[in-house]
Amino acid sequence: MYDPYILTDVGCRNVWAAGKKEGYAVNITINYYRGLPMSCVDEITLWVDGERAAPETMVLQHAGKEVPYLDILKDDFPTDFYWVYGEHLRVVIKKPGGIAQGVHKVRLQLGTRRSYTPTMVSVCEKDLIFA
């Protein structure tokens, strides 16, 4: 139901620091009609042009906070980092040199855990334009 909407074309761009491309970013939305703590996200897997982004290179930015993706998968991750329906979660992939400007095929697989139901896995694939 939410699959076509979880991967957005908003904010697809390279990430710069000290005048160098450090990586690239995409924005995603939650695959549920309610918000959830980030501790209920079981999976964010991203492929760009068929190449899977390594989980250890992914950083999540939301509500003024930044955390390594792998931290949200830990049992002791705080439950007060909340992802509200309709808000973007920025996924930054640390990759020296970033990504070439233009159109890239992006595939996202998002798994979230909700009360009283099994993990819901959503998949979305789109051609996105990176600035």
Domain boundaries, the chain: 3-130
- pLDDT of 12 reads 94
d(Cα 60, Cα 106) in Å, to the nearest integer? Answer: 17
22-39 pLDDT, tens digit each = 999 999 999 888 889 999
Both tokens of 109, joined, read: 């697989």
Please give the share of the chain, as a percent, with pLDDT higher than 70: 98
Which residues are registered as beta bridge partners of 68? 59
Residue (of 26, 108, 35) closest to 60 by Cα position: 26
Does residue 130 or residue 5 have the better pLDDT?
130
71-117 pLDDT, tens digit each = 999 999 988 899 999 899 999 999 999 999 999 999 999 999 887 77
Residue (of 50, 118, 124, 38) closest to 84 by Cα position: 38
